[in-house]
Amino acid sequence: MAEKRKSMIKIKPKKYKVGDIVKVDFIVIHPMDTGMKKDKKTGEIKPAHYIDSIKFSFDGKPFTTMKVWESVSTNPYFSVKYKVTGKGKITVDYTDNQGEKNSKSKKLKPKG
C-alpha cells in the first residue's frame, strides 16, 4: 500500500564544518489534493490527500516537527536551519492523511 515517493534532502551550503548553521531543505513529490478539485478525466471530486505531519531528526533525536494542512502547495518544499554538531544522519519521516508513511535520510559529513 505504501507507495514509494520521490523525495530529496538538500544541505546548503555544500561544504560545512562542525558548528556551522546549515539549511536543511526537504522536497517531496506529492499531489497535496485539497478535496475540492475535480479529476479532469472522470469528473469526480478527488478526495483530500495531503501530508499532515513531518519529523526532522538527527541520529534518532527529533529537532523539528511539523503539522501541515492542505494549503501547502503540490510537491511541497520545507526548509529549516540546523546547527551541525558532528557526523551523523538526518532523517525526515513524513505521513499523509491516508496513512502513507515514508522516510528519507541523508548523511551529514562536516569537514574540519
Partner 1 sequence: MERRKFIQSMFSASAVAVVATPMGAFAKEEKKASKKGPNDMSFDDAVKAITDGKEVKDSDKVKLSVPEIAENGAVVPVKVNVDHPMEEKNYVKAIHVLNTANGNARCADIMLTSANAEGYFATRIKLSKTQEVVALVELSDGSFIKSAKSVKVTIGGCG
Site residues for partner 1 per CB under 8 A? 21, 23, 34-38, 45, 48, 58, 61-74, 76-83, 85
The residues facing 57 across adjacent strands are: 62, 91
CB of 100 to partner 1, least distance (A): 17
CB of 17 to partner 1, least distance (A): 14
Rounded to 5 degrees, what are φ and ψ at 82? Answer: -150, 140
Identify which of 46, 15, 14 has the alpha carbon closest to the alpha carbon of residue 31.
46
Q: Closest by alpha carbon to 108, among 19, 7, 48?
A: 19
Residue 66 CB, shortest distance to partner 1, in Å, is: 5
Q: In the complex, what is the shortest distance from the CB of residue 1 to partner 1, in angstroms, rounded to a whole number?
A: 21
Q: Between residues 4 and 17, which has the closer beta carbon with respect to partner 1?
A: 17
Comparing CB distances to partner 1, the nearer of 74 and 103 is 74
Select 17 or 77, whichever has its Cβ closest to partner 1.
77
Using the minimum distance from each CB to partner 1, give the nearer residue, 85 or 103. Answer: 85
Who contacts 101 (Cβ-Cβ below 8 Å, separation ≥6)? 2, 93, 94, 95
Q: How far is CA 96 from the centre of its chain?
A: 11
